[in-house]
Structure formats: structure tokens, C-alpha cells
Amino acid sequence: MKMILASGNRKKLAELKRILEPMGFEVIPKDEAGVTFEPEETGATFEENALIKAQAICVATGEAAVADDSGLCVDALGGAPGVFSARYAGENATDGERIDKLLAELGGVPEKKRSARFVSAVCVCFPDGSRAEARGVCEGRIAFERRGSGGFGYDPVFLVGEKSFAELTAEEKDAVSHRGNALRALEKKLRELGF
């Protein structure tokens, strides 16, 4: 089954392809399907944003579309940055600038109070109006400094056990990550729908 990815993020595309393709789902980037716009994320939750993106790309292409909306929720910051994770340090900020802001805001917060979780909501919308949705979570904590050179986004400061996401291999990360958990739950729902 073919799905159009409702994102222009190449690192997210690589991760979704890596997890979904062994399940038998072909993931095509939206630009290869002729879509040049980014749907505006106006939802208040990860689920609302994933639905907005998947619906927009499904309508634009007439094909099944998959979207992921994910973010980092830090307990010491009242759940921030949450749905604003990508825009946390401003609209055009780099991953490094977002991490710098996060670490600055957590300055003085002791290790035992640096608990956090990555959350991923995924949604597939079909041309007939039906959809499948799932949510995945990965519990961890925020490091005091960057560790590792892999991954993207907040991966260098998100610790699972003694390693950051950026220190894990792709396979290790996929096995425990919020996105991996969400996509495995989504696969189960799609199988139940007969895909």
C-alpha cells in the first residue's frame, strides 16, 4: 500500500520509511506527489495536527496520506514545548537553537526533576474519508548537555536509560522511540482494517 507523507522533513521521511516499509507500506514524500505546500498546524494537540496534515495531503493528491505530529513534553516546563516543539525558539530556528533554549530554561533543574517524554501522533487518511490513528510515547529525561551525533531535533539531549537518542543506532532508536511505538500501533489498526 502506498502512502504520501504529509511532511517535507527528510529526516522524518527516512525514519517513517525505515519503520513502515518492512511492514509492507510504501512511503512517498509529498513533493514527489506534486504537493508543494505545508499544511498549517493549527491544532491544540498532536492528534489534531496529524489529522490536519494527513487530510490536507489526502485531499490534494487523492491518495492515502500519512502524517506524524510529534514533540517533546518536559515536566519541569509544564509540558512545554509540546505541540510547539518545532517552533519553540522561533519560526525559523535551528535544532541547535531549540536545544539551547531548552537547556537554558532547565538551568538549575536537578537530574531527578528533568523527566520528559517524546509523544508521536500518527494518522492515515484515505480518499473515502476513513482514517486510522495511533499514539506512541517514549519516557526519558533531559540531559545537561548534548550527547551523540545521530538523530535530529532534540535527540542529543533526550536520554533513554544512559544514552541519548543521538547515541543510539537507528534500529535501537526505532525499537523504543515514540514514533516507532506509534507506527507499530498504527500497523495493527491498519491490519484490522484489512490493509
Q: What is the largest CA-CA distance in the chain?
A: 52
Q: Is 46 within 8 Å of 69 (Cβ atoms)? A: yes
What is the spatial distance between Cα 144 and Cα 160, in angstroms, rounded to a whole number?
14
> Catalytic residue at 100?
no
The catalytic position among 31, 68, 69, 128 is: 69
142 Cβ contact partners less than 8 Å away, ≥ 6 residues apart? 74, 102, 103, 106, 114, 116, 157, 158, 159
Query: Which sign does the torsion angle of CA 189, 13, 83, 102 carry?
Result: positive
Provide the 8-state DSSP code for 121: E
Which cell numbers in the block locate residue 1? 500500500
Residues with active-site annotation: 69
